[in-house]
Chains A and B, each alone.
Chain A
């Protein structure tokens, strides 16, 4: 158990819909990362937050948005969903923005039909 909690674990929805994925980082970790992994693909960096502030942005679509709340949990909002958005979405946390490894949640598997 990495200490990072992601909900929901599985989600099936239709094209055009909107979903929210939630992540609770490890206790004490201030930095949260979101990654997208399509089937048999690598990890695509979406966005990073540190202590409530956006720190870095990767290949995140305009239809996607995220935030980190004062209690440090984070949410990734995906809207106007398309078939190609079906993927495993990982949240990871670390104690700060620079040192050490990322601890990953088990991921949220999104299926868009």
Chain B
């Protein structure tokens, strides 16, 4: 079964600084999708960014960008110019035709 590993249970960042959240995954598939979801205290699951495995270019959404290393099966999320509203649980997710699996999450704290 595919697994998704987030090795950082908690991270903190100073407001306006940059932070990188790590994610690795295990798969034998060649075509798949990767995602980062944000879960604020409201517990709503919000999509932050997505990456198609066939695309070499790293996805970017405003202050959020990823570093996708397919050979290394690594998918990290970089948050630039961190804001107080970025404080949340962040889940890395993998999707193939079989199912979609999530990492255990990284709790991000933003310090003013």
Q: Please list the residues of chain A having a beta carbon within 8 angstroms of any beta carbon in chain B.
A: 33, 35, 37, 41-43, 45, 48, 55-56, 58, 88, 90, 92, 97-104, 106-107
Contact = CB atoms under 8 A, between A and B. Distances in A.
A92 B45 CA distance: 10
B97 interface: yes
Nearest to B52: A99
A96 B104 CA distance: 25
Contacts of B28: none
Contact of A45 (B33, B45, B101, B105): B101
Contacts of B97: 97-98
A98 B44 CA distance: 23
B44 A45 contact: no
A99 B91 CA distance: 19
B98 A56 contact: yes
